């Protein structure tokens, strides 16, 4: 009977794959968070050497913590019925915690470390306990219980980093975040309970695909916001106007490259997958890289629009060229997950950026952004020419059909 009551929390097989309005509302907190991440990256514009490396690493750590919160929430609403009051309360509470993390993020590695940590741990420790209690006697209650146990294991490292000396914060938080990500990858193993690998979870795959696409568009929207704000706040000139136009064209090209076939067919790939949880786990890591690459690229826009013909610095090369390179790598990974192959156009684009990088290190930022935009334009151009000669690809099942050995009664 208890299992029956708990089963009402699970997503029914025929539930809609579209995100609910509450989930779209939830994403607003992460619009703020991503803008804060971009601001921290942009503050590295004048750094060089070790200061640039450590500054990038600190911001990357904060982004990874935010991503873990968002991705866990996306999986929860793909696994449980988002119209249930308990799940709605969980999403709203997570949104508030995400907003706290976003507000504290600019100084999260300094004096605001404790509120950032408290908000993070409230989601990672308390939320799965609430879900486990709502599931009551259902066998799946052990999955969120595992999450809570592992999050509790990393919590002392988070708190020690927040409350301890500043010089120990980064290594302690790196260790804590590593525990959280390794636990996610291993399926939160516990003695006598085994593992609950996300690849075996029963989820609404089309819903999860929809959420990944939406997060990519949110990151792309953040890049457009950066372009508008920086150009609107700077002194107008022909050089800045040209940089503004090229930055916008670059964002449009990122959109085109992502959605042409692979990104567009992501939902169908989940439909065809024998084990959508396995594709979801792989796609989660891919979209982490995609979103990060868009944020890094948007920082490059800011640097170029601000000083189109300023002196070349290692920092601008990292953002202007490194961001698009990371995007192409992640996009190739996505194509492999959908089609089991990689387009030649993306390989050519990545090779061209690698080839041009040494020369771009000696040229003004405007030249670098122009070259990047030109290389990215080649990718859809080559795809368009190939499309005339060959039939369009169709998504193939990227996972083998589920067998009895793959089943997990708790998953």
Hey, what are 253's tokens? 């090209």
Q: What is the dihedral of CA 378, 337, 185, 204, to 10 degrees?
A: 120
Smallest CA-to-CA distance from 384 within 267, 290, 261, 223 is with: 261
311 burial (CB, 10 Å; 0-12 / 13-18 / 19+) is exposed
What pLDDT, on a 0 to 100 scale, did the predictor assign at position 394?
57
Share of the chain above pLDDT 90, in %: 55
Q: Does residue 160 contact residue 117 with C-beta atoms inside 8 Å? A: no
- Point out which residues pair with 337 in neighbouring strands: none
- Residue range 143-172: average pLDDT? 94
Smallest CA-to-CA distance from 394 within 270, 256, 262, 210 is with: 262
DSSP state of 110: T
Encode pLDDT of 357-383 as tens digits.
Answer: 998 988 999 999 999 999 999 999 998
Could you tell me the pLDDT band of residue 164, with boundaries at 50, 70 and 90?
A: very high
DSSP string, 249-263: HHHHHHHHHHIIIII
Compute CA 88 distance to the chain's CA centroid, rounded to the nearest angstrom: 22
Smallest CA-to-CA distance from 301 within 260, 262, 263, 249 is with: 249
What pLDDT, on a 0 to 100 scale, did the predictor assign at position 130?
94
| Cβ contacts of 243 within 8 Å, gap of 6 or more | 231, 301, 304, 305, 308, 366, 369
* Dist. CA 303–CA 320, nearest whole Å: 8
Q: Give phi and psi for 194, each to the nearest 5.
A: 75, -150
- Point out which residues pair with 190 in neighbouring strands: 194
DSSP state of 399: S
What pLDDT, on a 0 to 100 scale, did the predictor assign at position 403?
42
354 burial (CB, 10 Å; 0-12 / 13-18 / 19+) is exposed
- Residue range 399-410: average pLDDT? 42
- Residue range 279-296: average pLDDT? 94
| Domains (range + CATH), the chain | 2-196 (no CATH), 206-389 (1.20.1410)
Share of the chain above pLDDT 70, in %: 91
What pLDDT, on a 0 to 100 scale, did the predictor assign at position 395?
56
- Point out which residues pair with 194 in neighbouring strands: 190
* Dist. CA 400–CA 402, nearest whole Å: 6
* Dist. CA 33–CA 30, nearest whole Å: 5
Q: What is the Cβ-side half-sphere exposure of residue 169, based on CA atoms within 13 angstroms?
A: 21
Angle in degrees, CA 265, 270, 273, rounded to 5: 120
- The helix, strand and coil proportions of the chain, stated in percent and rounded to the nearest 5, come to 75, 0, 20
Could you tell me the pLDDT band of residue 333, with boundaries at 50, 70 and 90?
A: very high
| 3-class secondary structure, 292 | helix
Residue 400 confidence (pLDDT) above 70: no
Encode pLDDT of 195-207 as tens digits.
Answer: 888 888 878 878 8
| 3-class secondary structure, 355 | helix
Residue 264 confidence (pLDDT) above 90: no
Could you tell me the pLDDT band of residue 408, with boundaries at 50, 70 and 90?
A: very low
């Amino acid at each position: 009977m208890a299992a029956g009551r708990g089963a009402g929390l699970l997503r029914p097989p025929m539930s809609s794959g579209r995100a609910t309005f509450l989930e779209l509302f939830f994403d607003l907190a992460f619009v703020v968070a991503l803008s804060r991440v971009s601001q921290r990256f942009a503050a590295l514009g004048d750094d060089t050497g070790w200061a640039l490396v450590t500054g990038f690493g600190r911001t990357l750590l904060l982004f990874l913590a935010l991503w873990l919160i968002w991705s866990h929430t996306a999986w929860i609403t793909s696994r449980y019925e988002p119209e249930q009051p308990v799940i709605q309360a969980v999403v709203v509470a997570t949104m508030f915690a995400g907003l706290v993390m976003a507000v504290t993020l600019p100084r999260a590695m300094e004096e605001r470390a404790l509120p950032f940590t408290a908000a993070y741990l409230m989601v990672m420790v308390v939320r799965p306990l609430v879900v486990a209690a709502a599931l009551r006697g259902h066998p799946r209650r052990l999955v969120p219980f595992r999450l809570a146990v592992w999050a509790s294991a990393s919590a002392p490292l988070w708190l020690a980093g927040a409350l301890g000396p500043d010089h120990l914060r980064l290594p302690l938080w790196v260790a804590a975040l590593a525990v959280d990500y390794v636990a996610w990858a291993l399926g939160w193993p516990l003695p006598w309970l085994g593992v609950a690998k996300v690849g075996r979870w029963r989820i609404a795959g089309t819903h999860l695909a929809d959420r990944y696409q939406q997060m990519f568009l949110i990151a792309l929207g953040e890049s457009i916001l950066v372009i508008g704000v920086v150009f609107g706040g700077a002194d107008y000139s022909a050089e800045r106007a040209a940089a503004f136009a090229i930055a916008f064209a670059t964002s449009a090209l990122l959109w085109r490259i992502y959605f042409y076939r692979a990104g567009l067919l992501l939902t169908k790939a989940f439909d065809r997958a024998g084990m959508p949880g396995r594709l979801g786990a792989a796609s989660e890591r891919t979209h982490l890289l995609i979103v990060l690459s868009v944020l890094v690229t948007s920082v490059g826009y800011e640097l170029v629009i601000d000083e189109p013909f300023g002196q070349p610095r290692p920092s601008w090369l990292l953002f202007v060229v490194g961001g698009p390179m990371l995007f192409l790598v992640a996009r190739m990974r996505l194509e492999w997950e959908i089609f089991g192959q990689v387009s030649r156009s993306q390989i050519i684009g990545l090779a061209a950026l690698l080839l041009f990088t040494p020369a771009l290190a000696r040229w003004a930022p405007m030249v670098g952004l122009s070259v990047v935009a030109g290389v990215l334009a080649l990718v859809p151009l080559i795809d368009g020419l190939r499309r005339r000669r060959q039939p369009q690809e169709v998504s193939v099942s990227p996972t083998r059909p589920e067998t009895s050995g793959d089943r997990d009664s708790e998953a």
